[in-house]
Amino acid sequence: MSRVAKGPSGSAGQKRVLDSSLIAAVTYSDHATLDVAFRSGAAYRYFAVPARVVDALLTAPSTGAYFHRQIRHRFRYQRLS
């Protein structure tokens, strides 16, 4: 599976474990919410994140760098833990 967003190779709501020093896993929902579990143990939910942004996150050469540039502080969020 190469995508979290709903599509031919994945389904929405499925947790994706990442090979990243910053992000442990992400889950993307049908409601355009992106849950991000960080290696530090913190977890956040980002709202109204387009599927194309999630796809780009998953295929970025550096997941952490992409997250900082394109997601962090660009979307409304809520801390989960």
pLDDT tens digits for 4-60?
A: 434 323 456 889 999 999 999 999 998 999 999 999 999 999 999 999 999 999 999
Predicted confidence at residue 11, as pLDDT, reads: 54
Between residues 1 and 27, which one has the greater pLDDT?
A: 27
pTM, full prediction? 0.82
Evaluate whether residue 58 is within a structural domain: yes
Evaluate whether residue 4 is within a structural domain: no
Predicted confidence at residue 5, as pLDDT, reads: 39
Evaluate whether residue 6 is within a structural domain: no
Rounded CA gap, 61 and 56, in Å? 10
Looking at the structure of the chain, the number of domains it has is 1
Evaluate whether residue 55 is within a structural domain: yes
Q: What is the extent of the structural domain holding 59? A: 15-79
Evaluate whether residue 42 is within a structural domain: yes
Predicted confidence at residue 7, as pLDDT, reads: 36
